[in-house]
Amino acid sequence: MSRFFSEKYRALTPYTPGEQPKEMQYIKLNTNESPFPPSPRAVLAAAEAAKGLNLYSDPTCARLTRAVAEHLGAFEEEVLLTNGSDEILGFAFMAFCDETHPAVFADITYGFYEVFAELNRVPYRKIPLREDFSIRIEDYFDAKGTVFLANPNAPTGIALSPAEIEQILLRNPDNIVVVDEAYVDFGGESCVPLIRKYDNLLVTQTFSKSRSLAGGRLGFGVAFRALISDLNTLKYSTNPYNVNSMTLAAGLGTMEDGDYTAKNCRTVIENREYTTAKLRRMGFVTTDSKANFIFAMHPCLDGGRLYRTLKERGILVRHFDKDPIRQYNRITVGTREQMDALLSALQRILEEEA
Ligand code: PMP
């Protein structure tokens, strides 16, 4: 740290992204990326857009906003595109949290919420999950702050139904509720249809998982238009060109190739169910994940040790070294071949440890 670093950020602990190793070829099941390449239409469109990189990107993101709005059954004024969904989540912390509106989120959830709260120097309250890692919706009634819910939750994969989220919305008429649907396309149910009914609901989604564009950095928020207008004020006060031209083109190509995305999601769901069933047969305990990852532990294996052993054998998963999830690993669902390689490695480890 330099002596010039502002006092207000000195205590900040930044978010730790999952490893992106360059030194060897891993079976990479640690950051919930899609195992499938972007749609060929996205790749072609991005390459074409590269020819126009001498010009700034469209700050209104008009064409892609229209396509996303149409896909969601929303108006364009109800949608805001951002540089990954992290950016819209960051805007939400800036826009809707302060001394009198603390952030409220689960103790086990997406780690960036705490970082955003620290970065923006807003107070926050963490609510413990139940022992089975499910969310008790009553804990969020009259939250006295801005609620952030990852749905499905990460790293557990457990989803609330829109009816349960609606209960939380109804009990928080004067609080914003942010529903982070990064993983919704793998079996969760979206709350987007609720945005007209609740002016306190912001739903965020991403192109990083189901749409194979993690490296493109593209996400969006959907909400009542006044909320989108607030978020736009922040966007135009930080980076009006927040989504680059190649990514806008890739996003449009992806939206035009909806069958490709749908097919990949079906495959990921099939592979998740296949792998979960096999893991359970091997004695693993897993949550009921509706996401593109599996959250698993084995009563006979230490979570941290399992993570390290898998890594030595060329398979990278994600381990969170904190209570009460230390015994678990989060395994991104990959191709059937990747899942079979994982299952064989686990079988071997179990035989060795027994
Ligand atoms: N929300 C959750 C729950 C996530 O796990 C992630 C991915 N790390 C994000 C949001 C952000 O993803 P992105 O910025 O790539 O859209």
Domain with residue 88: its CATH number is 3.40.640.10
- Ligand 1 pocket member 206 (CB < 6 A): yes
Domain termination site, one of 214, 238, 256: 256
Would you say residue 163 lies in a domain? yes
pLDDT in the model for residue 354: 67
- Ligand 1 pocket member 156 (CB < 6 A): no
Name the nearest CA neighbour of 287 among 134, 108, 148. Answer: 134
pLDDT in the model for residue 132: 97
Domain termination site, one of 224, 256, 288: 256
How many distinct structural domains can be found in the chain? 2
CA 87 to chain centre: 12
- What's the 182 CA to ligand 1 centre distance in angstroms? 6
Averages of pLDDT over each 10 residues, the chain, 354 residues: 94 88 87 98 98 98 98 98 98 98 98 97 98 98 98 98 98 98 98 97 98 98 98 97 98 98 98 98 98 97 97 96 96 98 97 85
- Ligand 1 pocket member 214 (CB < 6 A): yes
pLDDT in the model for residue 19: 80
Any residues with CB less than 8 A from the CB of 315 and at least 6 apart, and which? 26, 27, 29, 341, 342, 345
Name the nearest CA neighbour of 254 among 306, 203, 219. Answer: 219
Domain termination site, one of 256, 280, 314: 256
The whole-angstrom separation of Cα 287 and Cα 276 is: 9
pLDDT in the model for residue 21: 82
- What's the 86 CA to ligand 1 centre distance in angstroms? 6
Same domain (yes/no): 190, 284: no
- Ligand 1 pocket member 34 (CB < 6 A): no
Q: From residue 259, give the alpha-carbon distance in Å to each of 41, 178, 254, 263, 320.
A: 12, 28, 9, 6, 35
pLDDT in the model for residue 269: 98
- Ligand 1 pocket member 187 (CB < 6 A): no
The whole-angstrom separation of Cα 89 and Cα 46 is: 25
- Ligand 1 pocket member 203 (CB < 6 A): no
Same domain (yes/no): 139, 159: yes
Q: Which one of 87, 180, 203, 211 would you pick to mutate in the ligand 1 pocket, going by the greatest count of ligand atoms within 8 A of its CB?
A: 180
Same domain (yes/no): 128, 140: yes
Burial of 8 (0-12, 13-18, 19+ CB in 10 A): exposed
Burial of 237 (0-12, 13-18, 19+ CB in 10 A): exposed
Same domain (yes/no): 152, 117: yes
CA-89 nearest atom, ligand 1: 10
- Give the domain range for residue 288: 18-36+259-353
- Ligand 1 pocket member 219 (CB < 6 A): yes
Would you say residue 10 lies in a domain? no
